[in-house]
Amino acid sequence: MTLPRRLAAPASTWERDFDVVILGSGAAGLSAALAARPVRSALVVTKDVLSAGSTQWAQGGLAGVLDPTDTIENHVRDTLTAGAGLCDEAVVRELVTEAPKSIRYLMRLGAAFDPEQGSQDIALTREGGHSHNRIVHSGGDRSGAEVQRTLDESAIGAGVEVLSRAFALDLVLGTTSDGERQVAGVRIGQTNADGQLVSVGVVTARAVVVACGGYGQVFASTSNPPAVTGDGVAMALRAGLSVTDVEFVQFHPTVMWRGPDATGQQALVSEAVRGEGAILFDAAGERIMAGVHPQEDLAPRDVVSAAVSRRMAEAPGGVDDHVFLDATHMGERFYERFPSITEACREIGLDPAVDRIPVAPAAHYACGGIRAELNGRTSLPGLFAVGEVSSTGVHGANRLASNSLTESIVAGTRVGRDLAWELPDKVRPDPDFEDPMAPPLLDPARLREVRAVMSRHVGVIRNEMSLSSAAGALGAIANGMTGSASTSGESFGDPELGDKTPVRPSRRTWEGTNLLTVAVAMVAAARARTESRGCHRRTDYPESSDAWQTHLDVSLDAAGEVAVDGAPDAG
């Protein structure tokens, strides 16, 4: 099976130049743009509106040590425990030390976090895996919306330029005078509101910051919004970078279950609800987490998701696709504390003050991504990766709840500040960055299949049989991809197309092709990791193994074949 090494699009018709171009407008991208802006020209390229990413949807809040009875050491220890042996302790310590500063920074920018009742102090709550109350929140469960609003206003106010409905297709590479590869810019597909291609252009820059978020949309059921389609990871793979830890997808244990046919983004029932004392029950009325873990319902997410999946497989009360979360002890206090979840419950005719909420695990967070330092630096000079698209060593094999927004702010701000201080040298784009041969694109009609395969075979519980079925099915889909066509519908540059219907370049077909690329990479890594660790659970290798306390790197070779490096038996 081969995957495209470039996203098909017509030749570019326009060009712009900036000091820094940032791909993505979530917490990570906007923090980077804001910090670079005072002294740099900065363009944020975003494929939809500013708030289309996961940031807007975050409910629980941001983790940081603000309570005098809590300590940095506690937060480090909780993060390392959740990460199941694959966190980089030095990076975790850096993040945890900066986390309270990032929260105070957001407050100075104007973010309003909820105060303790009857006090001026900020309210701190707890989520799964945290030993202390250290999560700040806003508007009850509208924490991400407040972060997004604050950063939107701050970045625009600071003079950051934004190019909306602009899809980052592929990195444009150049070569330094020393013969080193360096990023020179990015190809952009400008679309209309329906995602149809309007024009293609190139933005050249001294630094490119990838902040495209995760890839939850690779699964049929996810808490992630539609824009979270792994574009950054797929783009990095096509540019020759390897991506790390992509087998570790965190499944949130309590995503609202709205019936067997519900697909796409599903409403999240934040862990903060269990932080407030809610309890998981199966359909027969038995508790799920009692005796499973010392923290019971507030155990780390991987533990709770696996326990829920196992219980669903036993079909208690004849129900095998959901369980129930009981928060009725909160009564009507629930409405004020969790207004978004209340709204989502009411949409399906439930009252969370009196009814148990049907929930099931769904894809939530990409622990892996483009390997980067906490200051965004990657293996490719000039290229930086921040936020969920990156893999910095903070999350290891499983992210600790609410560490990701803090990581996005800390890493984004660091890269922006560093670029304000010093920019990489300029390089000219290589002349061959526009390929006259149109590589194939995924027919959007087949995207549903990709997602169904991933949810069926690569979900919370995996094994060689399920993973090889997934690899076979994805291979058949990839091999069936046809050539692409120009916006006028004519094939451009693919003489092999014959009588197959060409697929037109558009946001949907680019996203579908990226999702397929990420799916193939994830399945390859999940097959290679023959153990269970963090959020990667295999029934055929149920234990963790010391030999596997290592990271897997996935790359695409020149022909578009996926390769996995780093397995212990590979030497």
Ligand X SMILES: Cc1cc2nc3c(=O)[nH]c(=O)nc-3n(C[C@H](O)[C@H](O)[C@H](O)COP(=O)(O)OP(=O)(O)OC[C@H]3O[C@@H](n4cnc5c(N)ncnc54)[C@H](O)[C@@H]3O)c2cc1C
The residues carrying an active-site annotation are 301
Nearer to ligand X (CB atom), residue 143 or residue 182: 143
Which of 54/517 has CB closer to ligand X? 54
Which residues in the 267-286 window bind ligand X by CB under 6 A?
Answer: 268
Q: One symbol per residue from 186 to 215: x for binding ligand X (CB under 6 A), - otherwise; what is it? A: -------------------------xxx--
> Contact 341/275 with Cβ under 8 angstroms?
no
Q: Which residues of 477-499 are buried (b: 16+ CB within 10 A; e: fewer)?
A: bbeebbbbbbbeeebbbbeebee
Return the SS3 of 195. coil
What's the rounded Cα separation, in Å, for the pair 439 and 418?
37
115: β partners: 122
509 touches ligand X (CB under 6 A): no
- Find out whether 563 and 2 touch, Cβ atoms under 8 Å: no
- Residue 387 binding ligand X, by CB under 6 A: yes
> CA dihedral in degrees (184, 213, 374, 76; nearest 10)?
-170
Of 392 and 402, which CB lies nearer to ligand X in the complex structure? Answer: 402
In the complex with ligand X, the residue whose CB is nearer, 141 or 531, is: 141
| Interaction of residue 25 with ligand X, rule CB under 6 A | yes
Rounded CA separation 418/207 (Å):
11
Nearer to ligand X, 14 or 320 (CB): 14
CA 410 to chain centre: 16
Selection from 317, 277, 232 nearest residue 54 by Cα: 232
**In the complex, least distance from residue 55 CB atom to ligand X, rounded to whole angstroms:** 3
* 152 lies in the binding site for ligand X (CB under 6 A): no
Q: Which of 140, 144, 502, 505 binds ligand X (CB under 6 A)?
A: 144
Which is closer to ligand X, CB of 57 or CB of 541?
Answer: 57
User: If binding is defined by CB under 6 A, does position 391 make contact with ligand X?
Assistant: no
Q: Which of 217, 305, 375, 404 binds ligand X (CB under 6 A)?
A: 404
| Interface stretch with ligand X, choices 17-25, 436-444, 468-476, 535-543 (CB under 6 A) | 17-25
Least gap, CB of 301 to ligand X (angstroms): 11
Interacting residues of 568 by C-beta distance below 8 A, sequence separation 6+? 547, 548, 550
Cα 244 to chain centroid, rounded: 13
Q: Cβ distance 412 to 381 under 8 Å?
A: no
Q: Which of 168, 306, 471, 522 binds ligand X (CB under 6 A)?
A: 168
59 binds ligand X (CB under 6 A): yes
For 89, 170, 538, 565, 568, the CA distances from 541, given in Å and listed in that order, are 26, 37, 5, 20, 15
| Residue 404 C-beta: closest distance to ligand X, Å | 4
According to the binding rule CB under 6 A, does residue 114 interact with ligand X? no
Residues 217, 544: Cα–Cα separation, whole Å: 28
Stretch that binds ligand X, among 227-235, 295-303, 339-347, 445-453 (CB under 6 A): 227-235
Q: Convert residues 322-361 into a mask of x (bound to ligand X by CB under 6 A) and - (unbound).
A: ----------------------------------------
Among 18, 113, 167, 338, binds ligand X (CB under 6 A): 167
Least distance between ligand X and beta carbon 225 (Å) = 7
Q: How far apart are CA 416 and CA 411, in angstroms?
A: 9
Q: Residue 259 contacts by C-beta under 8 Å, 6 or more apart in sequence? A: none
Interface residues toward ligand X, by CB under 6 A: 23-29, 45-48, 52-55, 57-62, 143-144, 167-168, 211-213, 223-224, 227-228, 231, 268, 365, 387-389, 402, 404-405, 408
